[in-house]
Amino acid sequence: MDQLLHEKIIERTLHIALIGLGYVGLPLATTFAAAGFHITGIDVDQQKVDAANRGESYLADISSSTLQALLETKKLHFTSDYAVLDDIDAINICVPTPLSKTRDPDISSIISATQQVRDHLHPGQLIILESTTYPGTTEEVVLPELESTGLKVGIDFFLAFSPERIDPGNPGFDLRTTPKVVGGITHACTELAQEYYGAAIEKVVPVSSASTAEMVKLLENTFRAVNIGLVNEIAIMCEKLRINVWEVIDAAATKPFGFMRFLPGPGLGGHCIPVDPHYLSWKLKTLDYTARFIALAAEINSSMPHYVVDKINEALNEQQRSFNGATVLLLGVAYKRNVSDVRESPALDIISALIQYKSVVMYNDDYVPSLKLEDQVMYSQPLSSGLLQAADCVVIVADHSYYDIPWIVSEARCIVDTRNITQGCVDEKIYRL
């Protein structure tokens, strides 16, 4: 079976299905289609399917022109019908894995997708899970479902895990140029998955098992979460010591070894860094072990939006204003610069706190035309002199590149800058972390 799949990979006749057309699945679909493979994208969201089939990209990193060009080759198609899996050779599962309200892993989408794959499983298929999850998921959750068909892994079908490493908005690295880690259930699974990704991605890094590959992803983002938590606490310490944290970081970064630059901010956002460490922490709790670094980093990082709100309070007090009735304008509500993703964005917590304190809250973000909160919908306001001057406080949450900072500083009454984007602007009305 693996020899036939090998030949199909070499000849580019492998028919691939991508389950989940979000930030992971759609870039993967376009990357493999560009490499000459026949791709079918599957998603339960019919609106995404219809938009993709029209060549209308809903992701900033995938242009509509790129999508349209690939559709014209007839190598790319999108559907919500899982029946297409009957004729598929390789399947990537790229479904979301959020946390539940209790901060426990929610792998219900993985289970649902796996059941669909099971129902259409046939000899000679390669299945790869890409959704971030806790170590052991591929072997303990996905494998038993697939082997319940009577087919055997490594003989009849092949199963592996490969963590997604997409960094939205990063022009330096895309899916093709970012090394891909793969780990299979068996050695044959790993080899086949390595060959599969190698047909479309520049570098593939095999590891000894699926669990190892799952752990790689969690280490990468736990590393970032812990170091961001550290530098956020350093920022708080520096304020108490009346030291400029940004100057400290710049000076420390001149050391050519032993130091890696991390920056403080208003809190963690996106799907990965605020979420992934909790998958590892949850898994270790089942083994009666407490992941202390993860817990402490989460405590510090989750407190940062409230720290920003305290800064806003300080800025308003200097104008003899209170939260109640004050107009606060947020610049950028996405979780980071030049993206449209608001998942876990610290702006959401900041806005909620300001509304609770009875402030009038507005925002500008060209990447996020509307923002849905629990009980209301907000809309991005066009940035103008009038809007800046009307605000009692302007809060820079996402440092989008289109912001004209000198102009904003000249027009605003006071600014709380959480990203140090006003660096170089000397003005008493600027409050930085």
- The catalytic residues are 272
CA distances from 254 to 227, 248, 249, 261 (A): 18, 10, 9, 10
What are the residues whose beta carbons fall under 8 Å from the beta carbon of 160, sequence distance 6 or more?
126, 127, 128, 129, 138, 182, 183, 184, 185, 189, 190, 192, 193, 210, 213
CA dihedral 275, 279, 281, 287 (to 10 degrees): 170
State how far the Cα of 192 lies from the Cα of 3, in Å rounded to an integer.
9
Q: Which amino acid is at 386?
A: G
Given phi > 0 = left and psi -120 to 50 = alpha, else beta, which region is 129? beta
Give the residue carrying structure tokens 């046939």: 122
Beta bridge partners of 364: 331
Three-class HEC string of 40-83: EEECCCHHHHHHHHCCCCCCCCCCHHHHHHHHHCCCEEEECCHH
What dihedral do alpha carbons 143, 149, 150, 156 form, nearest 10°?
A: -70
Q: Which two tokens stand for residue 418?
A: 């959480």
Q: What angle do CA 109, 115, 121 make, to 5 degrees?
A: 135
Cβ 142 vs Cβ 170: under 8 Å: no
Residues in the chain: 433
- State the CB neighbour count (10 A cutoff) for residue 92: 26
Token pair for residue 127? 């299945």
Sequential DSSP letters for 8-31: HHHHT--EEEEE--STTHHHHHHH
Q: What does the alpha-carbon distance between residue 357 and residue 257 come to, in Å, rounded to a whole number?
A: 46
